Structure 1
């Protein structure tokens, strides 16, 4: 099961308004590039939210009370990227952007 999204600056800006993260790395392209990135960065918790959506799709209502999600952010996602999050049959989570791995983890239900 996977979810594919085209990442836009508008998505990043909207998420920042919701979570209150005002770090300039998410909003100022030149600043982000000066620090070695291709552009502004998608918030890590935003990536995790896409993974949580996969958990809900996989496990239905049980996800709300027994869902267990572990993520580790390991690479940047920038506006213009195609972000793909996927879980396999064992619940292993992988996400990529531009062919590079950006997040790993697992999705399961607690006992």
Structure 2
């Protein structure tokens, strides 16, 4: 059985890039374009990992992470995807319960994507 990943990002191009990067690994990938949609999917499904953008309209990634850790499944690993690479924001995300973070923009091979040679 493949790992089930929820990708939450309001930017369609970022979701497309990550979909392409993850395709060779046969993950089951669900997508949400905002925090509310993600919350609905989390409540209805079962995920092994959540890739979560911080800067989204309405319900941002920090709010969704706090809800997840305080009220829902506390065990799902969460990796934050953020254009906010400053230390304060990264520490805030980790204190809220994120397991790791990736600063955008990033190269797919930075985090174990396909490499040539």
TM-score (norm 2): 0.25
TM-score, structure 1 normalization: 0.26
Larger fraction in strand: 1
Based on CA coordinates, which of the two structures has the bigger radius of gyration?
1
Higher helix content, 1 or 2? 2
Q: Which has the higher contact order (CA 8 A, sep 6+)?
A: 1
